[in-house]
Chains A and B, each alone.
Chain A
């Protein structure tokens, strides 16, 4: 059973909509991650939060806005997305955000932008 949960499982939105993806982890981890995965490709890192502070932003467009309200919760706010942003969005968490730490992934949100 995964201890990283993501909601919603599926999301369809128009280019003018505003929506949010939510992630929660129950392992007491202090680092959380957002990844984007296109079909038949590996995940691509978007953001890393460590101790509730943004530590890595992989030059992600501003239409994606992350938020970490506390160490267990991670949100990704979406606004004015493009059809090419359609993908599987994966959340992950790890102990401290160090290289040695294993990242544990949630089940993902399948996003379709019309």
Chain B
């Protein structure tokens, strides 16, 4: 069975602060894929990144960076110099390559509020 845990239900920061959203996962598959999605108040889930289990390189995209560590089963997401437009619910998700088909297992989400 797959499981994704986002222990932080809500985070509130002031603009320009850095913030890290935690994601811990469980899977028995050796091949799996991890995702982060952003859901602003409008409702659409916006794809941010996909990582496969064989690629532990960290990734940076503008103010966003991701730290994937297989040893701790974590795939954390950091926003540098946060902005009000970053306010949203962020979901971490997992697909097991051997057992899940295309079923995404989502974490419960982290509500990020960035205050001006």
- How far is A106 from B37 in the complex, measured between Cα atoms in Å? 13
Q: Does B43 contact A (CB under 8 A)?
A: yes
CB distance from A23 to the nearest CB of B (A): 12
A contacts with B, residue count (CB < 8 A): 29
Contact between chains at A99 and B44 (CB < 8 Å): no
Q: Give the residue name and chain of the B residue nearest to A97 (CB).
A: B102
New contact pairs (10) apart from A45-B103, A90-B43, A99-B102, CB-CB < 8 Å:
A41-B109, A48-B101, A48-B102, A50-B102, A56-B101, A92-B45, A99-B100, A103-B104, A105-B37, A105-B47
Instruction: Choose, from B13-21, B57-65, B75-83, B90-98, the stretch at the interface.
Output: B90-98
**29 A-B contact pairs sorted by A residue (CB < 8 Å):** A2-B44, A31-B102, A33-B102, A40-B109, A42-B91, A42-B106, A42-B109, A43-B91, A43-B104, A43-B106, A50-B102, A56-B102, A56-B103, A88-B43, A90-B43, A97-B101, A97-B102, A99-B31, A99-B100, A99-B101, A100-B33, A100-B52, A100-B95, A102-B35, A102-B47, A102-B50, A104-B47, A106-B44, A107-B43
Contact between chains at B102 and A98 (CB < 8 Å): yes
Q: Which residues of B contact A (CB under 8 A)?
A: 31-33, 35, 37, 42-47, 50, 52, 91, 93, 95-97, 100-104, 106-109
Cross-chain contact of A42 among B43, B96, B107 (Cβ < 8 A): B107
Q: Does A71 contact B (CB under 8 A)?
A: no
CB distance from B103 to the nearest CB of A (A): 6
What residues on B are CB-neighbors of A110 within 8 Å?
43
Q: How many residue pairs, one in A and one in B, have C-beta atoms under 8 Å apart?
A: 67
Q: Does A94 contact B (CB under 8 A)?
A: yes
What residues on B are CB-neighbors of A45 within 8 Å?
103-104
Q: Give the residue name and chain of the B residue nearest to A48 (CB).
A: B102
- How far is A27 from B46 in the complex, measured between Cα atoms in Å? 15
CB distance from B39 to the nearest CB of A (A): 9
Contact between chains at B102 and A103 (CB < 8 Å): yes
Cross-chain contact of A99 among B37, B95, B106, B107 (Cβ < 8 A): B95
Q: Give the residue name and chain of the A residue nearest to B44 (CB).
A: A107
If A42-B107, A42-B109, A100-B33 touch, does A90 touch B45 (CB 8 Å cutoff)?
yes
